[in-house]
Every structure is written in C-alpha cells, then in structure tokens.
Amino acid sequence: PMRVLVTGGSGLVGKAIEHVVQQEGGKLEGEEWIFLSSKQADLVDVEQTRAVFEKYRPTHVIHLAAKVGGLYLHMRENLQFLRDNIKINDNVLQTAHESGVTKVVSCLSSCIFPDKTTYPIDETMIHNGSPHDSNFGYSHAKRMIDVQNRAYFQQYGRCYTAVIPTNVFGPHDNFNIENGHVLSALINKTYKAKKEGTPVTVCGSGAPRRQFIYSLDLARLIIWALRRYEEVAPIILSVGEKDEISIKEAVDMIAKALDFKGEIHFDTTMSDGQMKKTASNGKLRRLLPDFSFTPLNEAIKMTCDWFENNYNIART
C-alpha cells in the first residue's frame, strides 16, 4: 500500500487534502498519509529534506511546499523567491528519486503562464514566452519543476508529474489583507468592514477576470492525479472557461455570503495586475468528464463561514 508524504501539508491545499483523506474516505485500506509542515523540516536545506524522507520512507509524494508571498513582496524579492523555490524543488525531487519514490505530483501555479499569449492557455503553452514581470523569480522556479520532471523521465523513467491549479481559495487560506490571495483578502476586508460599519475598498477596477477553484475540489483532483493520472506532462486543474468571473462579481458574492450591506468602492488608482489568465480545462474534462465542481457561490459561502467561525486561528 502507498505511503504518501505531503509537503506543505499545513497550507491551504495540504489542509484540504488532509480533510478529503480523513473525512471523505480519500484514504484506502492500509495506506499511510503524512502531512509535513515547514515547522517539521525546512526543505530549502537538503540535509533536513533527506532526514524527512529517511524518517517516513514514502512511496508517493504530493509536493505542495513553496516559499510564497503576496504580489508586492514578490515584486521586491524576486531573487529570494527564485533561489528558495529552486532549492526546495530540487531537494524534494532529487531526494524522492534517490529514495526510490515511484510517483511525485507537484503543484505549479497559474502565474507560470506566459504574460503575452493567446487565450485560453493550455498545458502545451507553459514555456511559450516569459511569465508576468511581477513575480518572475517564483514563476521560473515553478516552471523548472516541469523541466525537471521531463528529465527524470528521460533519464530514469520516473513518473514525476505536476498539476496547475488556477486561483485556489478555501478554509485555512492566508486571509491577510496585504499579502493574501485576492478572494481571501477580500473576505477578510469585507468581514472587517461589516464589523466596523465602514465601506469596503477594493484595489483596482474590479474588471480583471479569474477562474477560482475551491480547495476541496482541488484536493479531490490531486488525489485522483496521484492514483490515476499517468502522464509526465502537466495537467491544468480548473473550472471551465465559462466559469471565469470578474473581481467585482466575486466581491458581490462575498458581500452576500457575509450579509454585508455597506458600500463597496473600487480604488482605480491601484493596479489591476493581469486582466485575465483564462486557462482551458479541456484535458481534465477528457480524462474526467463527470467531475462536478462546487458551485462558486456555495464554496465562497462555506469559506466565509469557516473564516467567521475560526477567526481566532485564521491567518490574518
């Protein structure tokens, strides 16, 4: 039976996988699942990485760990994000290889897509042009996982692969207003505004469009990929193109979920970032035609409820 090591096990996606494994029967008879947090090992350090693999002896790895930050931190520290993530990824993949791990599923990010491109973006287009300037260090480090996976296959026949989710949100996210992801930061902002009776000010025009995926849906799909997806080439895990919504629509859903009746302002002096990053989930749909995604308004409502009920432990 599989012994699965999940790096980044205490983060947004790690917690969602843990929930699916423990609460939804995602774990099969005899399997062992180990959720590793950065407190247990600093994966930038190769010795600590090796110690973890020796301790748990995994047969399979889900690699989620990364050094991440908000947009503005990435803009200031591209070199640090590049170096730390290259080290983490090389340490995990090479140690997995040396330990005889049969399969690794790593998590990439939609920020790796080329900045200047045609839409929708699919899996074959990842390396066709530079990523967005704002976080080029992180993006290039993430792209290298795909390059490295191909090399492990070519040289050793390893089935090490990667998934590319679009914008993930859900319980246990980083809800920090300065450096959280857009949806979770807006949930925190709206929650505060409701408590204080003040308006919500949204950065930018509200016009950019995004595909949002609920962390529990993503967790179910990553477990499917670990068990069933046989390719080394990456796969985009996302809702469909038609499910892309504007930031303004997202804010309205959050306001409804939190029962916020105040005013919503858009600060158009603030940057909008990329206007869209539309990804195709055609490959996923061909392989898994019947998967049903949680409707966005329900997923936002569940995330808002979790945030309100766990405000004291949430990352804010």
The residues carrying an active-site annotation are 138
Radius of gyration of the chain from Cα atoms? 19
Preceding peptide of 120 cis, ω within 30°: yes
Among candidates 28, 32, 24, 27, which has minimal Cα distance to 3? 32
Dihedral angle over CA of 207, 112, 231, 52, nearest 10: -120
Among candidates 101, 103, 68, which has minimal Cα distance to 85? 68
Region at 72 (left for phi over 0; alpha for psi -120 to 50; beta for the rest): alpha
Preceding peptide of 165 cis, ω within 30°: no
CA distance 162 to 83: 20
CA distance 96 to 19: 25
Angle, helices 12-23/215-228, rounded to nearest 10 degrees = 70
**200-209 burial by CB neighbour count: b if 16+ within 10 A, else e?**
bebbbbbebb
Among candidates 163, 106, 108, 110, which has minimal Cα distance to 132? 110
